[in-house]
Amino acid sequence: MYIMPCEIISPWIKEMDDRPIGEPLATEERTDIIIVGGGIAGTSTAYYLLQESDLHVTLMERAKVGYGASGRNGGQGIASVERSFRDLLLSRPGADIASMLNEISSGHQMVEEICTNIGYHDGLFKAAIWTGLSSVLEVQKQLEEMQLRLMYGAPVHPLMVDEDTVPKVDIDPVLADMVSTTTSSRLQEALCTRERYIAAYSAPASLANSGRLSRAIARHLLDRCPGRFVLHEESPVSGISFGDEVKVRSMGKEVSADAAVLCTNGYPLPELESSSVPKISNSLRRYVASMVAHTSEERTAPGAYTYFHEEGDPEEEPYFYLTRRPFLLNGDDLVTVGGPQQTISKELDHGAEYPPGIYARIDGFLARSYTRAFREEDRMCWNGPMGYTQDGIRLVGRDPQVPGLWYNTACNGIGFLPSIVGGWKVAAELVGARSR
């Protein structure tokens, strides 16, 4: 098999320093809230808890803050879920779905406010994400999605359809002002691709290195909340017991608290000991995503793209996604692409390919599709963990069966924005619960 030469590292990790922020747990401790996981979900939850209350918060990270899933993703913050509105209607009311989608959309403003408040001025890029559709069936499903979103008050994104495709789809009159006709060449230009797509739409995107942002948030909290915020790096949590109080075990020591919030992206999970079965025990599927990046001498406007195509397994490889923004090491364009994912049951090996040859496949898509130049020899390859819930919706809030257990976990493959919104929501619910 051809082994593609590349540097096995995430470009987001290249952008981060590796100096310790917190010390390993060395003694028994007591706090109000323990957060397990030091990525964007955990640091956002800590940020909002400390901002909205006088609580004491301890964050436990198994390695270094931001070096887990948050430092190994695609760099996109988008307001989305991976299930259609129609599919979600089978299990929840339309008004609830619309509320959830509007809530996630507010994440764009939240991440901007966090960056302003902590003085993070060089790492957030506001852009649009363009999504390309390649089949009539995909276009028809998107039209249905638009109609349902409009009906229930969720965000709706106008659709551009190729002039040859318009006669092949049914466009409800209520969508007349939201659907425009265009040419194939204009779609290719909008999508920055050589390949043919028959429709496209755009939505807001927040592009950031969420691992680097996690580290900036943690440093800010240590500086602004001394005595109330404690951070332990290199402190893997082996187990959590729930009783009169919550006890978190790490390296033979315990931290006691009133509540614990799991922010681990879904796996690996610590052992959870309680009289009832925690919801997370039976609700997660473990995936690994693979990505490739190149740098370019071009310095173009930041952008993001998603390409739905008619090849591959729709479960394991439903689309490719591409992110372009400045590489913070030199200011040149950094172009990252991913999409293929695979279920995993063992410990994730960041030096392995899942499956073998996947990096060459991703790089091949970039080479044949992307219209701009990039440095062929400057190639980075990496993988990252993704936790999926059974229903495809992020696990946020109180566990219904286990007192003291809360969640802001399981990315479900949709970027870092819902992690920030989840942190805000969990903090509000936790503070409200303690005040009652």
Which residue do the tokens 């649009």 mark? Answer: 128
82 burial (CB, 10 Å; 0-12 / 13-18 / 19+) is middle
Average pLDDT (118-135) is 96
Is pLDDT at 436 greater than 70 in this prediction? no
| Confidence band for 317, pLDDT divided at 50, 70 and 90 | low
| Confidence band for 3, pLDDT divided at 50, 70 and 90 | low
Is pLDDT at 360 greater than 80 in this prediction? yes
**Taking a C-beta distance cutoff of 8 angstroms, is the pair 233, 35 a contact?**
no
Tokens representing 17 are 């320093």
Which residue do the tokens 């680097």 mark? Answer: 212
Which residues in 233-330 belong to E strands, given as ranges? 239-242, 246-250, 253-257, 259-262, 271-273, 284-296, 303-308, 319-326
Residue 281 neighbours by CB distance under 10 Å: 14
Element (H or E) spanning 90, and its range? none
- Rounded-to-integer distance, Cα 201 and Cα 132, Å: 7
pLDDT digits (tens, 9 = 90+) for 234-268: 999 999 999 999 999 999 999 999 999 999 886 67
Residue 190 neighbours by CB distance under 10 Å: 19
Is pLDDT at 125 greater than 50 in this prediction? yes
pLDDT > 70 in the chain, percent = 97
pLDDT value of residue 305: 97
| Confidence band for 352, pLDDT divided at 50, 70 and 90 | very high
pLDDT digits (tens, 9 = 90+) for 58-71: 999 999 999 999 99
Give the residue among 361, 359, 380, 368 at the shortest CA–CA distance from 294: 380
Identical fold at 7-73+210-283+393-435 and 125-206+284-389?
no
Which residues in 75-151 belong to E strands, given as ranges? 76-77, 124-133
Q: What is the CATH number of domain 7-73+210-283+393-435?
A: 3.50.50.60
Which residue do the tokens 């793209």 mark? Answer: 305
Element (H or E) spanning 420, and its range? helix 417-435
- 91: which residues sit within 8 A by CB, 6+ positions away? 391
Question: CA torsion sign, 213 to 218 to 223 to 224?
Answer: positive
| Confidence band for 315, pLDDT divided at 50, 70 and 90 | very low
Mean pLDDT value across the chain: 93
pLDDT > 90 in the chain, percent = 83
Higher pLDDT, 89 or 1: 89
Average pLDDT (372-384) is 91
Which CA distances in Å does 411 have to 26, 258, 263, 398?
31, 26, 10, 17
Element (H or E) spanning 228, and its range? none
Is pLDDT at 13 greater than 90 in this prediction? yes
Domain boundaries, the chain: 7-73+210-283+393-435, 125-206+284-389
Q: Kindly indicate whether the domain formed by 125-206+284-389 is annotated with CATH number 3.30.9.10.
A: yes
DSSP string, 151-210: HHT-----EEEETTTGGGS---GGGGGGEEEE-HHHHHHHHTBSS--SEEEEEEEEEE-H
β pairing state of 395-398 and 405-409:
antiparallel
Is pLDDT at 295 greater than 50 in this prediction? yes
Across 191-205, 302-316, 351-365, least confident range:
302-316
DSSP string, 351-417: TS-SSTTHHHHHHHHHHHHB-S---TT-EEEEEEEEEEETTSS-EEEE-SSSTTEEEEE--TTSBSH
- 276: which residues sit within 8 A by CB, 6+ positions away? 401, 402
N residues, the chain: 436
